[in-house]
């Protein structure tokens, strides 16, 4: 179809057919937008363009590298001191390798490689003094071969190959230039490669300043492919700057001053096509700046002198669009530099004024202009209705403020206009409000003032009486006419309620508002009428009117606004009604479009209210119609909307879709087949809902444009994040994602939804918002999921970004265990300290109690023997010792004499007869008497001094009784347990010894 269109286009030009008429009827229309600095582009001078594998558009300029996603431009510029930023700002060429890295060339030499995974650049700066580096000259091309190796063309320096093993560049000249034609200056000039193509055999085909060359990597040999040998003084046609392979094993090449050349490999034949044949030998004419093959196999052409055009391969003919304003006035017609057709078939053209995007889109809405003229000859009318006669080839148009009824012969396009009478008291404007062809084939014409029946044969209008003209001097302002399931006609008015007319007998019944009768129709201002599946008639109007007539009773059920009830209507203006096949009534109001369930219910209930928030782009809906698929179509002040009642998907169409009228449209009507009409000022739109719904089915993939932590960019790429994920420290507790579904044409239609799995409980439907932020998340593993869809019905594939947030050390398991252990140890130590403290306090009390007891006992005794016996006895009973002997010193004999004894080895318990005397210095007792120092022996078996006195015991405590520095005696106690005696015992015995000595 598109190829035929081109042929028709050329035939039309040749035949003298008005070009604007051809363009208007084409199934493809162009939408043109131009970008420059005011729209975010870093510079309007475009040096190169590339669409990468994801769909991003990369744009080279003298002021940095731009990346466009449909919403805006991201600019990469060189950052002084940052080796990971781009190597320069003046871009000359852009390429993508098989690892999806972006290679960028610079005017001052050198190249950079942008790693889309890390978001960083690796730079290969020029260095004339270092072997293996690129020279400081403009880079003319970058090419990635089938082995993913990089080749760089340098202006006037030939070709350089980047060795993937060493990272060094290897230089090659394209020719030895031994021909005498090449002067020293030409040898330099012609040694430039502009574009490279690699065939299936690995042979390079190169567009150079010296013609077409091949390069065989195996033999390392360059071979020129000449049309003719260059000659001094003869204009060359092979100063090639671009090369495009042809499906028939040939090449298209664009040249400076040579137009387009075609080389056929099979027969080694050349053909040259110049568009300016009048200046074939002029050096500044026929200058091709770029060539790109389009989806149809033809060539888009940019030139320095004729602007943007098309070379049709089949016709071998040029068409420059700037020559024809009817195509579009904004298509560049002067200097154009580069062209690109993206995967959506948009055409991008760089030119002297910036960057132009030409959207090639299927024409959805065909506007048929009807020059409706008023009595003054001014085109200021409207089309109110369009209807095709089922029984003839005639089409009828209801017009307002024009010439009345239009009758058009669809074969011959002959048009007849019929005027009609108006009420004497009204303005003389002829307004046809509505048209109807009933089931009997009769055509009814409803005007502002009267109802007419059309006599088809004679093309005359016959007036039908509905109201007594003597009782109504003013017009009833008839609005709509509808035939119900019984064949009765219902006519609405804007001042006098509703009329019912029976075509069979001419009977008329009038329904008007009666304030005293609650079962009368709710208003006299009626805009619309519809019949539901149960045979009830619905009437809508203003002043709170939504009235339902039961034909069986003749009573109206009036539905009044209930502003606080979500299951009821909240509007007092109803503009249009449509009953669908599912049992719902659709009600267009000034607060939205209601879907109402009336089945087996006296009071209908609202199923859903559609508003601007649901995609209507406005709350007011003024006209409704159903298509053959059951979709409901609605006109709003800003768009035409289609709603799928099953999926609830809302799709809107506006000026960008070809609806150029300021008020969008007036009314929607069904036409033959699946066709639909929308009437408007000055004409009507024709469209096919079936084809439109098919065209809106593409679902996009979402990419992450930016990831920020504390509003600072964190570089990463889509492959890296899918495989490895993102990692954040626990204190990086504020981060955000910016995402995009690349759409160069209608980005505002993209709806987004996202969720952070592990945190969000459900999807967050953000509408057009492409930003998600999170803060203060606990440590753990999450998955950020995001998806997009047009209209929000069917969502595209999910993009998933794994995210791992480390927990703070105080939330790590090892720290928690360590903390619990530390707390437990601290508690245990505290308990122990407390226990020890309590024990010490208890011991202190016990010591003091024991001392007090011994002291009181000592003072009660009258003799030394009694005192010592009491002490020995109480040491056993109160201190739980097993044996106690008190010795007094016999100074004369220097012997310790037992004075009192009490213990288990003493049968009489307090008899010292069996106790032994101990010389000073002998045994433990004698040693203490000699030293005057107390001793506690934990294990007497280890002490050679121990003297067994009746029974051996392991523990012994010996305390001297000293007075005035002299030892008077010894208190010696024993226990069979090892390490029995404590400091408490020592303290008590020391005090007792002191008391006894005194």
427 & 351 share domain: no
Q: Using the structure block, give the residue that is written with the tokens 């179509």.
A: 633
The answer to whether residues 301 and 183 belong to one domain is: yes
Statement: residue 593 has pLDDT above 90: yes
CATH number for 44: 2.130.10.10
Give residue-wise pLDDT tens across range 473-482. 788 999 999 9
| Residue 950 and residue 985 in one domain | yes
Helix (H) or strand (E) segment spanning residue 930 = helix 923-931
Residue 571 counted as domain residue: no
Is residue 235 predicted with pLDDT exceeding 90? yes
* Last-in-domain residue among 784, 806, 828: 806
Two structure tokens written together for 300:
């888009």
Q: Answer with the one of 336, 362, 388 that is the final residue of a domain.
A: 362
Tokens of 98: 């098989």
Domain with residue 774: its CATH number is 2.60.40.10
**Co-location of 426 and 410 in the same domain:** yes
Residues 351, 370, single domain; the answer is no
Residues 708-757 have pLDDT tens digits of 999 888 876 443 444 567 889 888 889 999 999 999 988 888 889 999 99
Q: Starting from the edge strand earliest in sequence, which strands make up the sheet with 667-670, in order?
A: 366-369, 683-687, 676-680, 667-670
Is 156 part of any domain? Answer: yes
Q: pLDDT class for 693, splitting at 50, 70, 90?
A: low
Is the same domain home to 98 and 231? yes
pLDDT reading at 698 higher than 70: no
Q: Count Cβ neighbours within 10 Å for each residue of 572-585 and write b for 16 or more, e otherwise.
A: bbbbbbbbbeeebb
- With both helix axes pointing from N to C terminus, report the angle between 864-877 and 813-860 in degrees, rounded to the nearest 10: 150
> What is the residue whose two structure tokens read 């929000």?
792
129 found inside a domain? yes
Residues 6+ apart with CB under 8 A from 183: none
Q: In this predicted model, which residue has the larger pLDDT, 347 or 655?
A: 347
SS3 850: helix
What pLDDT, on a 0 to 100 scale, did the predictor assign at position 811? 72
Q: What is the CATH number of the domain that holds 963?
A: 3.30.450.40
- What is the pLDDT averaged over residues 941-957? 89
* Domain closes at, from 481, 512, 543: 512
Q: Cα(337)–Cα(792) distance, rounded to whole angstroms?
A: 39
Asked whether residue 117 falls in the same domain as residue 143, the answer is yes
Strands (E), 163-316: 169-172, 193-198, 204-208, 211-216, 221-225, 240-246, 250-255, 259-264, 269-273, 288-293, 299-303, 308-312
Question: What's the whole-number mean pLDDT along residues 339-343?
Answer: 95
Could you list the residue range(s) of the whole structural domain that residue 231 is in? 32-362
Q: Does residue 617 lie in a domain region? A: no
**454-487 pLDDT per residue, tens:** 999 999 999 998 876 545 578 899 999 999 999 9
**Look-up of token digits 């109802």:** 451
Residues 431 and 498 in one domain: yes
Q: Which residue pairs, CB below 8 angstroms and at least 24 apart, start in 280-287?
A: 281/235, 282/257, 283/235, 283/256, 283/257, 284/257, 285/257, 286/257, 286/258, 286/259, 287/256, 287/257
Ramachandran bin of 913, using left for φ above 0, alpha for ψ from -120 to 50, beta for the remaining angles: alpha
Higher pLDDT, 363 or 503: 503
Are residues 289 and 401 both part of a single domain? Answer: no
- Cα torsion angle, 31, 37, 40, 45, sign: positive
Q: Residue 948: CB partners within 8 Å, gap ≥ 6?
A: none
Domain for residue 543, yes or no? no
Domain count, the chain: 4
pLDDT digits (tens, 9 = 90+) for 631-651: 999 999 989 999 999 888 888
Check if the beta carbon of residue 209 is closer than 8 Å to that of residue 186: no
Q: Which residues are CB-contacts of 880 (< 8 A; sequence separation ≥ 6)?
A: none
Question: Do 331 and 439 sit in the same domain of this protein?
Answer: no
In-domain check, residue 214: yes
| pLDDT of the residue at 695 | 54
Task: Quote the pLDDT of residue 237.
Answer: 95
Is 539 domain-assigned? no
- Check: CB of residue 720 under 8 Å from CB of residue 726: no
Same domain, 358 and 370: no
CA distance linking residue 312 with residue 297, whole number of Å:
8
Listing DSSP states for 162-177 in one string gives: E-TTT--EEEE-S---
How long, in residues, is the chain? 998
Question: Where is average pLDDT lowest: 705-719, 772-786, 925-939?
Answer: 705-719
Q: Tell me, letter by letter, the H, E, C secondary structure of 374-393.
A: CCCCCECCEEEEEEECCCCC
Residue 316 shares a structural domain with residue 216: yes
């Amino acid at each position: 179809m598109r190829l035929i269109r081109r042929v028709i286009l050329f035939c039309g030009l040749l035949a003298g057919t008005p070009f604007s008429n051809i363009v208007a009827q084409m199934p493809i229309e162009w939408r043109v937008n131009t970008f420059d600095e005011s729209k975010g582009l870093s510079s309007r001078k475009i040096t190169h363009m590339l669409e990468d594998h994801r769909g991003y558009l990369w744009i080279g300029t003298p002021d940095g590298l731009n990346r466009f996603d449909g919403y805006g431009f991201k600019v990469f510029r060189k950052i002084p001191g940052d080796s990971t930023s781009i190597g320069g700002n003046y871009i000359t060429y852009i390429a993508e390798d098989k690892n999806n890295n972006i290679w960028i060339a610079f005017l001052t030499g050198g190249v950079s490689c942008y790693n889309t995974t890390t978001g960083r650049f690796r730079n290969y700066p020029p260095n004339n003094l270092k072997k293996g580096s690129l020279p400081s000259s403009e880079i003319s091309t970058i090419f990635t071969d089938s082995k993913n190796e990089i080749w760089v063309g340098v202006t006037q320096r030939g070709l350089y190959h980047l060795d993937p093993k060493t990272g060094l560049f290897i230089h090659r000249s394209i020719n030895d230039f031994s021909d005498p034609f090449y002067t020293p200056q030409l040898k330099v000039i012609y040694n430039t490669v502009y574009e490279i193509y690699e065939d299936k055999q690995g042979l390079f085909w190169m567009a150079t300043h010296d013609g077409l060359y091949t390069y065989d990597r195996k033999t390392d040999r360059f071979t020129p492919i000449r049309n003719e040998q260059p000659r001094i003084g003869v204009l060359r046609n092979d100063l090639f700057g671009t090369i495009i392979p042809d499906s028939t094993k040939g090449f298209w090449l664009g040249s400076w001053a040579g137009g387009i050349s075609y080389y056929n490999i099979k027969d080694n034949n050349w053909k040259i096509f110049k568009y300016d044949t009048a200046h074939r030998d002029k050096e500044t004419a026929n200058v091709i700046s770029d060539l790109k093959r389009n989806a149809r196999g033809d060539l888009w052409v940019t030139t320095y002198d004729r602007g943007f055009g098309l070379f049709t391969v089949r016709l071998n003919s040029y068409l420059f669009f700037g020559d024809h304003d009817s195509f579009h006035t904004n298509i560049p017609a002067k200097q154009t530099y580069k062209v690109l057709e993206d995967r959506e078939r948009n055409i991008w053209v760089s030119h002297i004024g910036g960057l132009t995007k030409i959207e090639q889109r299927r024409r959805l809405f065909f506007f048929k202009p009807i020059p409706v003229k008023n009595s003054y000859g001014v085109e200021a009318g409207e089309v109110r209705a369009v209807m095709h006669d089922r029984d003839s080839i005639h089409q009828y148009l209801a017009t307002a403020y024009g010439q009345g009824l239009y009758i058009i012969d669809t074969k011959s396009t002959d048009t007849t206009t019929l005027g009609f009478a108006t009420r004497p008291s009204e303005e003389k404007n002829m307004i046809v409000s509505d048209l109807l062809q009933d089931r009997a084939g009769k055509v009814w014409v409803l005007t502002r003032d009267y109802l007419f029946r059309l006599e088809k044969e004679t093309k005359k209008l016959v007036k039908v009486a509905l109201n007594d003209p003597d009782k109504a001097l003013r017009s009833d302002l008839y609005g709509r006419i509808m035939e119900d399931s019984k064949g009765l006609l219902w006519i609405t008015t804007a001042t006098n309620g509703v009329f019912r007319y029976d075509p069979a007998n001419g009977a008329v019944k009038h329904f008007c508002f009666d304030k005293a009768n609650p079962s009368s129709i709710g208003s006299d201002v009626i805009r619309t009428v519809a019949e539901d599946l149960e045979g009830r008639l619905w009437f809508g109007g203003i002043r709170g009117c939504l009235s339902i007539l039961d034909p069986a009773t003749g009573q109206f059920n009036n539905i009044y606004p209930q502003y606080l009830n979500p299951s009821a209507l909240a509007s007092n203006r109803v503009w249009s009604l449509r009953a669908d096949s599912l049992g719902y009534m659709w009600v267009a109001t000034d607060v939205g479009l209601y879907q109402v369930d009336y089945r087996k219910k006296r009071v209908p209930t609202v199923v859903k209210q559609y508003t601007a928030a649901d995609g209507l782009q406005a709350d007011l809906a003024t006209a409704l119609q159903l298509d053959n698929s059951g979709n409901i179509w609605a006109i709003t002040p800003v768009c035409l909307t289609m709603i799928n009642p099953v999926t609830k998907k809302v799709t809107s169409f506006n000026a960008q879709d070809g609806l150029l009228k300021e008020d969008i449209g007036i009314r929607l009507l069904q036409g033959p087949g699946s066709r639909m009409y929308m009437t408007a000022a000055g004409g009507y739109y024709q469209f096919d809902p079936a084809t439109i719904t098919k065209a809106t089915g593409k679902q996009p993939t979402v990419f992450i444009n930016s990831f920020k932590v504390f509003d600072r960019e964190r570089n990463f790429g889509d492959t890296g994040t899918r495989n490895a994920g993102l990692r954040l420290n626990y204190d990086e507790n504020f981060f955000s994602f910016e995402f995009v579904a690349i759409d160069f044409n209608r980005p505002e239609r993209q709806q987004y939804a996202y969720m952070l799995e592990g945190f969000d409980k459900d999807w967050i439907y953000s509408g057009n918002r492409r930003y998600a932020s999170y803060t203060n998340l606990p440590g753990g593993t999450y998955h950020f999921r995001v998806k997009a869809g047009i209209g929000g019905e069917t969502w595209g594939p999910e993009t998933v970004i794994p995210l791992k947030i480390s927990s703070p050390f105080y939330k790590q398991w090892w720290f928690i265990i360590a903390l619990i252990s530390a707390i437990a140890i601290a508690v245990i130590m505290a308990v122990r300290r407390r226990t020890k403290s309590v024990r010490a306090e208890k011991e202190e009390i016990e010591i003091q109690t024991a001392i007090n007891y011994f002291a009181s006992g000592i003072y009660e005794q009258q003799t030394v023997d009694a005192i010592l016996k009491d002490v020995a006895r109480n040491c056993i009973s109160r201190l739980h010792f097993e044996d106690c002997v008190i010795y007094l010193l016999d100074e004369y004999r220097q012997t310790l004499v037992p004075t009192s004894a009490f213990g288990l080895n003493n049968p009489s318990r307090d008899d010292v007869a069996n106790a032994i005397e101990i010389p000073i210095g002998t045994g433990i007792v004698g040693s203490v008497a000699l030293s005057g120092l107390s001793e506690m022996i934990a294990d007497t078996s280890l002490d050679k001094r121990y003297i067994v006195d009746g029974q051996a015991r392991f523990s012994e405590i010996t305390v001297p009784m000293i007075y005035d520095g002299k030892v008077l005696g010894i208190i010696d106690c024993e226990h069979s347990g090892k390490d029995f005696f404590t400091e408490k015992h020592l303290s008590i015995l020391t005090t007792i010894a002191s008391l006894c000595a005194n």
